[in-house]
């Protein structure tokens, strides 16, 4: 039902002009309009178009994902020596040598660049208190060094402000990985792993770490006090908090190819304590495609929905052919129809 | 009526995505979206279409209201604002939000979404989900209305376009203000094909159930105003004898207010009970 919006003009009092509002198509709701209704033709056409677009997209996405080669290696349990496994937390907090050797086999040829990630599970980087515990202004410039209010409890040490302050920086991941192939070390390029906008605009070139990890409890890695924050790419990557409790972060890139069957030896330092909260640590080597990493989801989803839409197009075609009716027929009004029909 | 139902729908869609994200942030009240995104949802990205809907929408033009006065009974009998419809719209919002959240979450699994190997953080997932919500909510509006003037086109497609423009502008403001949304669109989201692919998929997937429902309803169970739309579409409205026939068949005693709504619902359920009674007797 239309609603009337009258314009608010009125003739001056005392004149003989009429008070009728000025007519305009806009105010009288008579604008030229397109009044589409869902006719059978449109419904079937829409479903067919969707399936024609989606099925090829699904195939292409699935191929892209299948092309990605990924090696995932969980090491947090295996890298604790057997006698210490009864109390992993004590082991990780103790001072013993934490180096551990892992072997990875390359299942398929991997073309460079090959990205090295560490994957953590059950780690809620998206917890509100954690996310808030940082000082963006302090990260950007030296003069804001003392803006540490949001960073409690990791804000200062004996009155001296911690740079970078906050729980996020304090819990910096500090496992390291040294990779080698056939006894030749594989260089892992750790430059350029952070987003450019972070490096250039959020982390200052003149801000250096101070008083970092000097408190009673060490939360994670230490920082080189001679490197400015904008060069500390591991820190920058870590401080981009993850969305979900299972996440990967970029550690570095390998810029040479790996052949199928190659054995990669990893000497890692198992420093980071995920045992206190039943977290998991995994090392991941992955190539990428135009779609990203190995994730069949989009491809399968597109194919499924494309298929369903095609099926629906067929179903609707059959329905419309089997039950044709004159759609404007008033015998189909609810009160004229047999009982039990809709309204 | 549609405006109110739609308002419930869009807020539920938006709010349930925030709630679902909370489940994955251990319910610590960390929102999925940047705070300004949260505040401006109801202001910029979905308000104008609703206003345009309320002011300008016509399911049937004024001329037809004169020809088919029984249209008034739709309001009197509370057909368009029944509990069933309200709950139906809210349910639609709920399942749209489920679809948006879980698809975005799955497509960003392990956060490898970018051909340059960089991982997706909270701001990227938030940007992706919000984009999907804006598209779904506005496309839902486009699917629900049956009257498109230039006003509707501008507000619906304009709201969607404005979201992208806003992302770019807000992202260009210094990070001391824009915090985690700094450059998120231009640097991270726009260059990643998986962002665009996921958005396209979500908008179609979230709206397909409603589309199927509406196609079936329009064809097999049309409401009175939809019947009038069919009559107009088939050209019978210009035939005065046909129009007169429809009017004659619609004559019946009517009341207003509570009595009318009560009588209508009794008629609806009474018919069901009559049929049930007949079935039982036959058995």
**pLDDT at site A250:** 92
- What is the average pLDDT score of chain A? 83
Check A339 against B65: CB less than 8 A apart. no
**Cβ–Cβ contact B150 with A under 8 A:** yes
B228 min Cα distance to partner chain A (Å): 7
- pLDDT class for A140, splitting at 50, 70, 90? confident
| Chain A residues touching B220 at Cβ < 8 A | 323, 342
Write out pLDDT tens, residues B107-116: 888 777 788 8
| Chain A residues touching B55 at Cβ < 8 A | 3, 5
**Cβ–Cβ contact A124 with B under 8 A:** yes
Residues B109-139: b if buried by 16+ CB within 10 A, e if exposed: bbbbbbbbbbbbbbbbbbbbbbbbbbbbbbb
**pLDDT at site A340:** 33
| Chain A residues touching B121 at Cβ < 8 A | 240-243
Check A32 against B149: CB less than 8 A apart. yes
**Cβ–Cβ contact A247 with B under 8 A:** yes
- Asked if residues B223 and B68 have their Cβ atoms less than 8 Å apart, the reply is no
Write out pLDDT tens, residues A259-291: 888 899 999 998 888 988 889 999 999 998 888
| pLDDT above 80 (res B26) | yes
| pLDDT above 90 (res A45) | yes
Residue of B45, B34, B151 whose CA lies nearest to A243: B34
A276: burial class by Cβ within 10 Å (0-12, 13-18, 19+)? exposed
Which one of A47, A126, A313 would you mutate to disrupt binding with B, by most B Cβ within 10 Å of its Cβ? A126
**Cβ–Cβ contact A248 with B under 8 A:** yes
**Cβ–Cβ contact A136 with B under 8 A:** yes
Which one of B194, B260, B273 would you mutate to disrupt binding with A, by most A Cβ within 10 Å of its Cβ? B194
DSSP of A153-215: TSSEETTEEPBS-SHHHHT----EEEEEETTEEEPEE-SS-S-HHIIIIIS-TT---BSTT-S
Write out pLDDT tens, residues B150-170: 888 888 888 888 888 888 888
**pLDDT at site A122:** 92
Q: What is the count of residue pairs from A and B with beta carbons less than 8 Å apart?
A: 241
How many residues are given for chain A?
343
How confident is the model over A234-251, as a mean pLDDT? 91
Check B204 against A245: CB less than 8 A apart. no
How confident is the model over A282-303, as a mean pLDDT? 90
Which residue in A has a C-alpha nearest to residue B125's C-alpha?
A243
| Chain A residues touching B20 at Cβ < 8 A | none
């Amino acid at each position: 039902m239309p609603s009337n919006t009258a314009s608010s003009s009125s003739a001056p009092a005392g004149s003989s002009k009429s008070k009728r509002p000025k007519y305009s198509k806009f105010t009288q709701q008579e604008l030229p309009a397109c009044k589409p209704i869902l006719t059978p033709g449109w419904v079937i056409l829409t479903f067919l178009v969707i399936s024609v677009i989606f099925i090829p997209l699904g195939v292409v996405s699935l191929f892209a994902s299948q092309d990605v080669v990924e090696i995932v290696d969980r090491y947090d349990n295996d890298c604790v020596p057997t006698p210490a496994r009864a109390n992993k937390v004590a082991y990780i907090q103790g001072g013993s040598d934490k180096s551990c050797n892992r072997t990875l086999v390359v299942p398929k040829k991997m073309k460079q660049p090959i990205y090295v990630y560490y994957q953590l599970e059950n780690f809620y980087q998206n917890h509100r208190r954690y996310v808030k515990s940082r000082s963006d202004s302090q990260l950007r410039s030296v003069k804001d060094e003392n803006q540490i209010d949001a960073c409690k409890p990791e804000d200062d040490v004996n009155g001296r402000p911690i740079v970078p302050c906050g729980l996020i920086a304090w819990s910096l991941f500090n496992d390291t990985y040294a990779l080698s192939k056939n006894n030749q070390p594989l260089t892992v390029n750790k430059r350029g792993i952070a987003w450019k906008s972070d490096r250039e605009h959020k982390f200052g070139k003149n801000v250096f770490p101070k008083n970092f990890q000097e408190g009673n409890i060490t939360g994670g890695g230490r920082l080189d006090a001679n490197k400015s924050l904008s060069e500390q790419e591991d820190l920058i990557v870590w401080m981009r908090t993850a969305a979900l409790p299972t996440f990967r972060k970029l550690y570095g890139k390998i810029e040479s190819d790996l052949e199928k069957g190659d054995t990669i030896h990893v000497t890692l330092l198992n420093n980071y304590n995920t045992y206190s909260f039943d977290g998991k640590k995994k090392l991941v080597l992955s190539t990428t495609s135009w779609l990203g990493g190995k994730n069949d989801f989009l491809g399968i989803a597109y194919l499924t929905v494309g298929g369903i839409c095609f099926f629906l197009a067929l179903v609707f075609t059959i329905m419309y052919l089997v039950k044709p009716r004159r759609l404007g027929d008033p015998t189909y009004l609810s009160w004229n129809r047999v009982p039990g029909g809709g309204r | 009526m549609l405006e109110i139902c739609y308002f419930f729908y869009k807020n539920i869609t938006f709010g349930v995505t925030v709630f679902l994200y909370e489940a994955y942030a251990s319910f610590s009240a960390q929102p999925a979206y940047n705070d300004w995104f949260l505040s401006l949802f109801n202001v910029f990205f979905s308000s104008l279409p609703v206003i345009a809907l309320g002011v300008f929408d016509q399911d049937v033009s004024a001329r037809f209201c004169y020809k088919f006065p029984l249209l008034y009974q739709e309001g009197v009998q509370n057909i368009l604002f029944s509990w069933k419809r309200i709950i139906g719209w809210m349910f639609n919002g709920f399942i749209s939000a489920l679809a948006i959240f879980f698809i975005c979450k799955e497509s960003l699994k392990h956060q490898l979404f970018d051909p340059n190997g960089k991982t997706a953080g909270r701001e990227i997932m938030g940007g992706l989900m919000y984009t999907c919500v804006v598209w779904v909510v506005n496309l839902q509006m486009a699917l629900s209305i049956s009257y498109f003037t230039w006003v509707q086109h501008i507000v619906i497609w304009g709201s969607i376009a404005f979201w992208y423009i806003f992302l770019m502008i807000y992202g260009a403001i210094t990070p001391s203000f824009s915090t985690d949304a700094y450059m998120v669109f231009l640097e991270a989201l726009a260059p990643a094909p998986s962002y665009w692919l996921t958005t396209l998929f979500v908008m179609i997937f979230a709206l397909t159930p409603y589309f199927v429902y509406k196609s079936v309803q329009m064809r097999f169970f049309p409401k009175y105003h939809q019947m009038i739309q069919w009559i107009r579409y088939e050209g019978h409205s210009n035939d005065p004898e046909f129009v007169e026939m429809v009017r004659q068949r619609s004559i019946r005693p009517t009341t207003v207010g509570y009595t009318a709504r009560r009588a209508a619902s009794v008629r609806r359920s009474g018919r069901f009970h009559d049929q049930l009674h007949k079935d039982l007797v036959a058995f």
